[in-house]
Amino acid sequence: MTTVRIPQDWPATEEQARAVQDALRTRVILGEPGPPPGTGRVTGVDVAYDDERDVVAAAAVVLDASTLDVVAEATAVGRVSFPYVPGLLAFREIPTVLAALDALPCPPGLVVCDGYGLAHPRRFGLASHLGVLTGLPTIGVAKNPFTFSYDDPDTPRGSAAALLAGSEEVGRALRTRDAVKPVFVSVGHRVTLDNACAHTLALTPAYRIPETTRRADALCRKALRETHPA
């Protein structure tokens, strides 16, 4: 377990945070395909909050991409580093998530975030932010479409429909289970949208949500309970 301090130069206001987004957004790489789905390692990251105590716990869980067995895991706990502002949630989570990734004993490979990449009002969600800061290939797989529109995908698993901001495709609504509500996939950094969807399908053999997110969610909640019991 790693204990995290808020960096001294971390943004303290909405204006400062948006300026950071503007500066880092230009560094997002969209022209690389990313690692082939089902190969190497893939890592899920997620966070859990204790709002009353102003605490956040992050988990990083590395899976073997071909078997989905756990290879390694790490957690970190710190103070919430930014107030709740829609569109700026990454600033609440990034320091603790980075600490969990840094504590892993092996390279994480592709990183899957429970959230957004380009499917973000400023085209720079958590997955993009994390990818630029680490240089790792990243994707976002979210449970809801944020503010964007989409047509319902066809019923079978693997069906997809464009997630749209006006006429701009910012991600895809992807059916990971037959006749079950889709998830919302977007590029973070150094991965194409086609590959991001293929990775998501490879990570959902039995459930709607990727195994990376399911494992990281359980681990960060456990870390929060153990360090700050009710």
Three-state DSSP state, 193 = helix
Tell me the percentage of the chain whose pLDDT exceeds 90. 90
The whole-number pLDDT of residue 14 equals 96
The whole-number pLDDT of residue 104 equals 98
3-state secondary structure labels for all residues of 66-132: CCCCEEEEEEEEEECCCCCCCCCCHHHHHHHHHHHHHCCCCCCCEEEECCCCCCCCCCCCHHHHHHH
Looking up tokens 């456990």, which residue turns up?
Answer: 222
Each residue's pLDDT tens digit, 74-88: 999 999 999 999 999
Cβ proximity of 82 and 10 under 8 Å: yes
The whole-number pLDDT of residue 223 equals 95
The whole-number pLDDT of residue 133 equals 97
The whole-number pLDDT of residue 162 equals 98
Residue 185 pLDDT exceeds 80: yes
Cβ proximity of 58 and 76 under 8 Å: yes
Report the distance separating Cα 223 and Cα 80, nearest Å. 15
The whole-number pLDDT of residue 107 equals 97
Query: Is 46 marked as a binding-site residue?
Result: yes
Binning pLDDT at 50, 70 and 90, where does residue 5 land? confident
Residue 157 pLDDT exceeds 80: yes
Residue 2 pLDDT exceeds 80: no
CA 191 vs CA 75, 95, 109, 112, 151: distances in Å: 25, 23, 12, 11, 24
Three-state DSSP state, 11 = coil
Each residue's pLDDT tens digit, 103-154: 999 999 999 999 999 999 999 999 999 999 999 999 999 999 988 999 999 9
Residue 64 pLDDT exceeds 90: yes
Each residue's pLDDT tens digit, 24-56: 999 999 989 999 999 999 999 999 999 888 899
The whole-number pLDDT of residue 56 equals 95
Residue 171 pLDDT exceeds 90: yes
The whole-number pLDDT of residue 224 equals 94
Query: Is 194 marked as a binding-site residue?
Result: no
Q: Which domains does the chain have, with CATH numbers?
A: 2-227 (3.30.2170.10)
CB atoms within 10 A of CB 176: 24
Which residues neighbour 208 within 8 Å (Cβ) at sequence distance 6 or greater?
A: 176, 177, 180, 181, 183
Report the distance separating Cα 138 and Cα 39, nearest Å. 15
The whole-number pLDDT of residue 74 equals 98
